[in-house]
Structure 1
Amino acid sequence: MLGCLYVFVISVVIFSSVSSEAQMVPAVYVFGDSLVDVGNNNYLTLSIAKANHRHYGVDFPNQKPTGRFSNGKNAADFIAEKLGLPTSPPYLSLVSKANKNSNTSSFMDGVSFASAGAEIFDGTDEHYRQSIPLTKQVDYYTLVHEQMTREVGTPALQKHLSRSIFAVVIGSNDIFGYSGSSDLRKKNTPQQYVDSMAFSLKVQLQRLYDYGARKFEITGVGALGCCPTFRVKNNTECVTEVNYWSVKYNQGLQSMLKEWQSENGGIIYSYFDTYTVINDLIQNPASYGFADVKEACCGLGELNAKAPCVPVSKLCPNRQDHIFWDQFHPTEAASRSFVERIFDGSSSYTSPINMRQLVAA
């Protein structure tokens, strides 16, 4: 998840092998961006934000692209494995005309609404149909909720949802958008902008709560200024201004979550401090099994970050020792490392509890 992401097969391969661990929760419902998208954008005809070509998926089973912005699995896969579940399938794959077997049991088993390029704010993505903004993702969830209610009834559904995990991984694209828009920077100070992000996220979290969600895994944004795309413009060093915005948003997010919990009964959440984890990996890579913290594994030019990962890109020989897969996204190895800390992390990385404690609560 967790560091950087951004926008950018029609045949989708859905990873569904179940972890050897016993199933810990009924289902996982995933909301967010390309850090956890497992193929929704492949169903958006006009979207250019698709990981549907080589080298994406080079380390995935069958070595095929799946819509994940990774060389292999992403954080959504590893969270599901930790919980003893198959990866929640893309919502659009379940409702597509090509899927004649779509049924409510698919929804009961978990769904991913995540979409590459998605923001907390609606922005222009909905107009250009390049991604599914968070508001629309929650709209889709309300439709799923209605169908599940018809199938199993309100009491049974509420019990099911109250024990399920609602994972929300979003915010990076909003900050990328702010950093790249002189118009947004003229209209909002960084503090005003990140405060508005936190408020807008609260509105969508409240909608999920109103439709039965009770257990939330919510991630902050990473050290976005350390993405290869920013380093290559700054003599290979992190862009401190972008990291500053990331920190300010994360502070506002944590304050908002405490306030939101106090306003509603029954909410239990785990906040993952992505920024601190990314910073730790960058400062002490060898301690975590990494060697390269600056270069993208797939790309072109300096730091492999002058261009996106495309079929003609240069591919690094060892994906296991790189933190970054492309200009914005983590490698499979980095995503695995993040999820280890999401699930069993100390208070340095998770608050007020980690995911294992969230499941048991």
Structure 2
Amino acid sequence: MGKSVIMLWSFSLLPSFFIFMNLLGFLEAQNKTPIVYVFGDSLVDVGNNNYLALSIERAALPHYGIDYPTKKPNGRFSNGKNAADFIAEKLGIPTSPPYLSLVSKSRNNKNVSFLGGVSFASGGAGIFSDKIDEISRQNIPLPNQVDYYIKVQGQLTEQIGGPALQCHLSKSIFVVVIGSNDLFGYFNSKDLQNKSTPQQYVDSMTSSLKLQLQRLYEQGARKFEIAGIGAIGCCPSNRLKNKTECFSEANYWALKYNEDLKTLLKNWQLEKKDIRYSYFDTYAAIEDLIQSPISYGFREIKTACCGIGKLNAELPCLPISIVCSNRQDYLFWDPVHPTEAATRIFVDRLFDGPSRYASPITMRQLVAA
């Protein structure tokens, strides 16, 4: 009888034991490598949308993931690894797992820890909330991603305590890659264009983004890696609007938004003396590849590797699509997303510069700050 009681008592302590071991590992690693929290859209989504039951915005069908180590679709909108993967590689840590995958495990009574970083990024997400209920949601907008982060922070507080968590968060990197879908949406919607001018819309984007960044700051975030919007007018789907040439209006407002974003970040740092940030000029990085593709190893900058129709951009990459065999030569994987080869170049510049791309410091310097 006594032995049975002892055994039952021992088993009841197992969950606490695992949490304790996670805590020990966390404290040991705290001064070695940073933890990464990722917010954003399909450029950094590593599978969250796969857990949205009714979402059609998924990278869950062939030929996505064809060059990923598993050779299978995995929720990344790429032929292989995406920016979140390459950032993790640079830091020497595993890619932060999708938040919804961790939630799914916890529902199945599996031991789950958020101590190793989390990705809240979602394909199709924008800065603005879409006001759609959770059940029918197609993606996770940035305000909802921040809501999820706040939930995680509450659970971490219970696991390791407030002081240890604050120390942890002050060293963690908060990656934010968002905004492209908002501009895509504006130029594809007569309703949005009737409601506001492009300038009003861009102003609203920046003010809404600052609100979400401020929410993260209030919950302990101090180091931010923030990417501007790329030359979205030059992606294959937008080239269709201008006889295969770049859709200049979309590019113009992407640049205007980026200028406003840089001003926002400078002023915000003046307000909050304890934040550090690195801004990545995605526009300049992709423009260089478009202007001098051969020097970067690319031979095709207009047509997508995988898709259907003119420029392989009239329909998305589907199982019936014919996929290019020379994927290293292509700038774009599908009608809107870059290839793994292009993304690797972007992250190299994000991490180490030069200052034309990463300012006022590089991500490497941000980690060390």
Alpha-carbon distance between aligned partners in 2 of 1:88 and 1:252, rounded to the nearest angstrom: 29
Alpha-carbon distance between aligned partners in 1 of 2:32 and 2:72, rounded to the nearest angstrom: 29
2:45 is paired with a residue whose SS is coil
Alpha-carbon distance between aligned partners in 1 of 2:252 and 2:316, rounded to the nearest angstrom: 25
Deviation at 1:119, TM superposition (A): 0.6
Task: Identify if the C-alpha distance between structure 1 residues 299 and 24 changes in structure 2 by more than 3 Å, giving closer, same or farther.
Answer: farther
1:293 to 288, 301, 307: 301
**Which whole-Å deviations, capped at 9, do the CAs of 1:53-96 have from their partners, x for residues lacking one?**
10000001121000000001000000000011100000000011
**Which position in structure 2 is the counterpart of 1:336?**
344
Q: TM-score, length-normalised on structure 1?
A: 0.91
Q: TM-score, length-normalised on structure 2?
A: 0.89
Alpha-carbon distance between aligned partners in 1 of 2:194 and 2:114, rounded to the nearest angstrom: 43
1:31 is paired with a residue whose SS is strand
**Which position in structure 2 is the counterpart of 1:34?**
42
**Which position in structure 2 is the counterpart of 1:305?**
313
1:314 is paired with a residue whose SS is coil
Deviation at 1:124, TM superposition (A): 4.8
Task: Identify if the C-alpha distance between structure 1 residues 42 and 83 changes in structure 2 by more than 3 Å, giving closer, same or farther.
Answer: same
Structure 2 unpaired stretches of 5+: 1-30
**Which position in structure 2 is the counterpart of 1:318?**
326
Alpha-carbon distance between aligned partners in 1 of 2:32 and 2:133, rounded to the nearest angstrom: 35
**Which whole-Å deviations, capped at 9, do the CAs of 1:319-351 have from their partners, x for residues lacking one?**
111110000001111111100000001111111
Deviation at 1:219, TM superposition (A): 0.2
Deviation at 1:24, TM superposition (A): 5.5
**Which position in structure 2 is the counterpart of 1:111?**
118
Deviation at 1:286, TM superposition (A): 1.4
**Which position in structure 2 is the counterpart of 1:11?**
none
Deviation at 1:152, TM superposition (A): 0.6
Alpha-carbon distance between aligned partners in 1 of 2:49 and 2:298, rounded to the nearest angstrom: 30
Tell me which of the two structures has the higher relative contact order, counting C-alpha pairs closer than 8 angstroms and 6 or more residues apart. 1
- What residue identity is the alignment partner of 2:92? G
1:30 is paired with a residue whose SS is strand
Alpha-carbon distance between aligned partners in 2 of 1:99 and 1:336, rounded to the nearest angstrom: 36
Higher helix share: 2
Alpha-carbon distance between aligned partners in 1 of 2:139 and 2:41, rounded to the nearest angstrom: 9
Deviates more, 1:91-100 or 1:110-119: 91-100
2:302 is paired with a residue whose SS is strand
2:279 is paired with a residue whose SS is strand
1:108 is paired with a residue whose SS is coil
Runs of 4+ in 1 over 6 A off after TM superposition: none
**Which position in structure 1 is the counterpart of 2:218?**
210
Alpha-carbon distance between aligned partners in 2 of 1:79 and 1:297, rounded to the nearest angstrom: 24
- What residue identity is the alignment partner of 1:242? A
1:260 to 254, 264, 268: 268
Matches within 5 A, 1:72-221: 72-96=80-104, 99-103=108-112, 106-124=113-131, 128-221=136-229
**Which position in structure 2 is the counterpart of 1:352?**
360
2:224 is paired with a residue whose SS is strand
Deviation at 1:102, TM superposition (A): 3.8
Alpha-carbon distance between aligned partners in 1 of 2:293 and 2:132, rounded to the nearest angstrom: 36
Alpha-carbon distance between aligned partners in 1 of 2:111 and 2:216, rounded to the nearest angstrom: 23
Task: Identify if the C-alpha distance between structure 1 residues 192 and 158 changes in structure 2 by more than 3 Å, giving closer, same or farther.
Answer: same
- What residue identity is the alignment partner of 1:107? F
Native 8 Å contact 1:126 1:132 kept in 2: no
Matches within 5 A, 1:240-255: 240-255=248-263
Structure 1 unpaired stretches of 5+: 1-22
**Which whole-Å deviations, capped at 9, do the CAs of 1:262-310 have from their partners, x for residues lacking one?**
1113100000000011100000111111111111000112111111000
Native 8 Å contact 2:65 2:79 kept in 1: yes
Q: Does 1:59 align with 2:67?
A: yes
Deviation at 1:129, TM superposition (A): 0.2
Alpha-carbon distance between aligned partners in 1 of 2:188 and 2:131, rounded to the nearest angstrom: 14
Give % identity. Answer: 67
Native 8 Å contact 2:306 2:312 kept in 1: yes
> Would you say how many aligned residue pairs link Structure 1 and Structure 2?
337
Deviation at 1:126, TM superposition (A): 5.2
- What residue identity is the alignment partner of 2:109? K
Deviation at 1:99, TM superposition (A): 4.8
Native 8 Å contact 1:26 1:109 kept in 2: no
Native 8 Å contact 1:89 1:110 kept in 2: yes
Alpha-carbon distance between aligned partners in 2 of 1:158 and 1:263, rounded to the nearest angstrom: 20
Root-mean-square deviation (CA, aligned residues, Å) is 1.3
Alpha-carbon distance between aligned partners in 2 of 1:183 and 1:232, rounded to the nearest angstrom: 21
